[in-house]
Chain A
Amino acid sequence: MSSRLSWFNVTSLVLGFAFLYIPILLLVLYSFNASRLVTVWAGFSTQWYVELWQNEQLIDAFWVTLRIAFLSSLVATVLGTLAAIALTRYGRFPGRTVFSGMTYAPLVMPEVITGLSLLLLFVAMGLERGFWTVTLAHITFTMCFVAVVVQSRLITFDRSLEEAALDLGCTPLKTFFVITLPLILPAVISGFMLAFTLSMDDLVIASFTTGPGATTLPMRIYSQVRMGVTPEINAICSILIGIVAVIVLAASLFAKRQEALRRREELAARG
């Protein structure tokens, strides 16, 4: 379904992407503003980035967030992949409906509910709140995103590949590591990246489940944003946007290159 685009379609795309990108571009642009007044342009300056570098609170928060994100997304990737395998491979087992319900619900569950309920759990268990409770909370809600991403890959996975490995004498466990995992790896990696960004991004659940000494970056940004718009926040936001943009673009370019290479080889094989 493709043809030359009508003016209507072109307009929709242009307006849509303008709506999506102009706010972000303005934000990045004004992080280089010399004036403290965020919305009045007073010349180019990088002073806010320099100030940021000296704001130890923010830098601390950044490291805490990064550590939580890395740890939680790593565990979430393992758990989510296991959940996806259980849901796609093992047919009906007792409690499957509850299981699939618990895997899909967190995707749409309002964060305030998830946050509150986890907090109450941690209190009931008598856990000291802080770095580890936030990590546990993040594992729980991000593993479901990983599960959905991996599951949609597993569903299109040709099961006869695994059967062929078994048929050729490979044990089930080895088959998973030699055949299945390498082939679903792109989905597992994008699940990991998704879990990572969701964890980096989370404000509400972290606010509920954290304790003294484990203030995350979104929490810091949030408390400053409530005071109003400042160029420092623009600067830190721009840095985060830059990091994400570079990683995502690099990943997609890499995927695209692989795809192009593959396509060329396929054409060569046919020719």
Chain B
Amino acid sequence: MARAGSTGRGRLLVIAIPYLWLLALFLVPFLIVVKISLSQDALAQPPYTPVFDLAQGWAGFKDFVSQLSLDNYGYVLGWDNGFVEAYGSSLVIASISTALLLLVGYPIAYAMARAPKGVQPALLMLVILPFWTSFLIRVYAWIGILSPEGFLNQGLMTLGLIDQPLELLNTDLAVYIGIVYSYLPFMVLPLYSALEKLDGTLLEAAQDLGCPPFKAFWSITFPLSLPGVAAGALLCFIPAVGEFVIPDLLGGSDTQMIGKSLWTEFTANRSWTASSAVAVLLLVVLVVPIVIYQNIQARQLEAGK
């Protein structure tokens, strides 16, 4: 009996340690963000009021609540302040990038799944390898390619296709290229694992029943790869909405993305309260895709059994 008790304790520890860690360093910080988004900027350390003081008990709590305000949300949602535009354009850029990623990633994943079994691990390795190299480096590489004196412009000019450099860097196009380039492994891997699982005899059965290969693709392969499509799309879309490095390094001054706005609000304007409000609203925008993504993830892990 004593033994059974100690296993119960072990089980409790295994759950409690990571649980408490995530509560303290993942969930509680969000609550703090929400709280600060309802506070006012102040010239103090920390630079916001009210500061909740447990020592003052219930009266202190009432006092604290009465000082909370929605002013920051008014500021962030005000039309003139550019945040609403930034939310909108982040969603647009993320959607277009995700569509482009699907368009680029699907043929690659399909070809990988169709390749001889022996070379598939090598191909998989080739897709994953860039992911292990620094994200920043991969974005940086494109500055050298897209800049006015960069490789692309030089190449096009050498070929005589253009006679003066194209404006490529610091445009939305550069942001699209950057996102597609950096996120491609995240799109290809779920697609590949969905396509690779596909039972080859299904296609043979379809052909045996008189369905030509192209039609079999649309009526068999594609529908069965949809879980992979959904996983890949969400895995790219959600972080892309909040992307900061790519629009900052590759985008132009008129490329508005909410991650960049948040960063600027925080570092340049030093408004902790407004940036908290921006973060809370960004999370509100993303909560639905995140929940869908989690459901897919959980279901796939279950199916793995």
A touching B, CB within 8 angstroms: yes
Q: Which of A205-261 contact B (CB under 8 A)?
A: 208, 218, 221-222, 225-226, 228-229, 233-234, 237, 240-241, 244-245, 248-249, 252, 256
| B116 in contact (CB, < 8 A) | yes
How would you classify the secondary structure of chain A's contact residues: helix, strand, loop or mixed?
helix
Q: Does B301 contact A (CB under 8 A)?
A: yes
B216 near A: Cβ within 8 Å? no
Tell me, yes or no, whether A116 is within 8 Å of chain B by CB: yes
**Distance A201 CA – B194 CA, assembled complex (angstroms):** 28
Interface of B is mostly: helix
Range class of the B interface residue count? 35 or more
> Which single member of A6, A218, A240 contacts B133 (CB below 8 Å)?
A240
Contact with B along A138-166 (1 / 0, CB 8 A): 01100100011001100110000000000
Question: Which residues of B are at the interface with A, using a C-beta cutoff of 8 A?
Answer: 3, 7, 10-11, 14-15, 17-19, 21-23, 25-30, 32-33, 36, 46, 104, 107-108, 110-117, 120-121, 123, 125-130, 132-138, 140-145, 147, 149-151, 154, 181, 184, 188, 195-196, 198-200, 203, 234-235, 238-239, 241-245, 249, 259, 262-263, 266, 272, 275-276, 279, 282-283, 286, 290, 293-294, 297-298, 301-302, 304-305
Q: List residues of A whose CB falls within 8 A of some B CB.
A: 1-3, 5-6, 8-10, 12-13, 16-17, 19-21, 23-24, 26-27, 30, 37-40, 79-80, 82-83, 85-86, 90, 93, 95, 98-113, 116-118, 120-121, 123-124, 136-137, 139-140, 143, 147-148, 151-152, 155-156, 171-173, 197, 200-201, 203-204, 208, 218, 221-222, 225-226, 228-229, 233-234, 237, 240-241, 244-245, 248-249, 252, 256
Q: List 20 A-B contacts (CB under 8 A).
A: A5-B115, A13-B112, A16-B108, A16-B111, A79-B17, A86-B19, A100-B294, A107-B235, A110-B238, A112-B262, A112-B282, A113-B282, A116-B279, A143-B22, A155-B301, A172-B7, A172-B10, A233-B140, A234-B144, A252-B125
